[in-house]
Amino acid sequence: MSFKRATIIGTGMMGPGIGLTYARAGMEVAITGRTPESVERGMNGFQANLKTLVENELLSEAEAESIRSRVRGSTDIFGEAAQSDLVTESIAEDLKLKQEYFRKLDEVCSATAVLTSNTSGLRMTDIQADMKHPERALTTHFWNPPYLMPLVEVIPGEKSDFALAQKVYDLLKSVGKAPVLLRKDVLGQLGNRLLHALSREAAYMVQEGICSAEDIDTAIKNGPGLRYPAYGALEHSDMVGLDLFTAIQTYLAPDLCNYPGALPILQEKVRNNNLGVKTGKGFYDWSVKDAAEVRRVRDQWIIWTLKARQQK
């Protein structure tokens, strides 16, 4: 199966970067939204992403111009989808809304079109529940920022065609992504289950007065996080020896946080409208900490890593 035309539904932080990825694969891409203003915002995001790749020598100007020529914006969401052989939804994390979109896409799209969701935690099994042709629906969860992050999680639902999931996996791999293909459809998928396990323990240690938020992030950045780009968690387990790893888990695992839900420290912060950057305070005081600078450093680190991999 050869993918030639893609429609992206969603113009927020994820949609434009996903569209750029498909355009790099040689596809014609429509980035779609409900209003002209949202489409303009999405296209501006796409252009900014492309500029970043060129400025950091991850793409040549000639490559960027070729990609640019294959991407357009549109408010005709379902009209564009009807003409595409790959559709990716990247809207709000609302199960009912996603189900409505997939029911409509199931009606208007070609019988051979593949329909994917960029959901970061919902199960495709639930999203595809009311479709007449659920076998062509999959999750493709791009990690943020999608034009830089290599990871894409490909997850078939219980009624999905696994062969289609393999074809989408192959497409993503061909354009330089680092996809993973899950065998079971679980809440949180792969990456977010790992992330939230770490984040829960981090929040728990702050809650219990063991250390500060600054200490948590210093430890992650300068300990395991520094080696993770080249040395995974299970590689580490094998390297140190599973006998030692088992011995440590025997006494440590029972002492780790296993609170069944959002921790009290998180619930309290939400009640007090301390939501993080969006309200100015969360674990950190964002009136004195620069969120834009944090994002810049994050993205620059990703870029350095990608360039190092290219040189290797």
Name the token pair of 284: 């950190």
User: Could you tell me the pLDDT band of residue 142, with boundaries at 50, 70 and 90?
Assistant: very high
Name the DSSP class of 208.
T
Q: Looking at residue 310, what is its pLDDT?
A: 85
14 has pLDDT over 90: yes
Of 45, 153, 28, the closest CA to residue 87 belongs to 28
Query: Measuring CA to CA, how many Å separate 40 from each of 52, 67, 119?
Result: 18, 18, 23
pLDDT tens for each residue of 153-198: 999 999 999 999 999 999 999 989 999 999 999 999 999 999 999 9
Average pLDDT on 58-72 reads: 97
Between CA 107 and CA 104 the distance in angstroms is 5
Q: Looking at residue 2, what is its pLDDT?
A: 83
pLDDT tens for each residue of 203-241: 999 999 999 999 999 999 999 999 998 899 999 999 999
Please, what is the average pLDDT of the chain? 96
User: Could you tell me the pLDDT band of residue 255, with boundaries at 50, 70 and 90?
Assistant: very high
If you search the block for the tokens 């492309």, which residue do you land on? 50
266 has pLDDT over 80: yes
- Cis peptide bond prior to 254, omega within 30° of 0: no
Classified as helix, coil or strand, 284 is coil
Of 58, 101, 71, the closest CA to residue 7 belongs to 71
Which amino acid is residue 208, in one-letter code? Answer: E
User: Could you tell me the pLDDT band of residue 1, with boundaries at 50, 70 and 90?
Assistant: low
> What Rg do the C-alpha atoms of the chain give, in angstroms?
21
Percent of the chain with pLDDT over 90: 96
260's torsion region: left (phi>0), alpha (psi -120 to 50) or beta?
A: beta
Classified as helix, coil or strand, 134 is helix
Q: Looking at residue 206, what is its pLDDT?
A: 98
Name the token pair of 222: 């300068």
For residue 179, list its beta bridge partners.
Answer: 152
Between CA 178 and CA 190 the distance in angstroms is 13
Between CA 24 and CA 95 the distance in angstroms is 30
CB count, 10 Å around CB of 216? 19
DSSP secondary structure string, 87-101?
A: EEE---S-HHHHHHH
pLDDT tens for each residue of 99-138: 999 999 999 999 999 999 999 989 999 999 999 999 999 9
Q: Looking at residue 311, what is its pLDDT?
A: 83
Name the DSSP class of 143.
P
Of 20, 6, 8, the closest CA to residue 175 belongs to 20
39 has pLDDT over 80: yes
Average pLDDT on 15-40 reads: 97
Domains by residue range for the chain, with CATH: 5-181 (3.40.50.720), 191-311 (1.10.1040.10)
Contact predicate 50/71, CB 8 Å: no
CB count, 10 Å around CB of 9? 25
Q: Looking at residue 26, what is its pLDDT?
A: 95
User: Could you tell me the pLDDT band of residue 290, with boundaries at 50, 70 and 90?
Assistant: very high
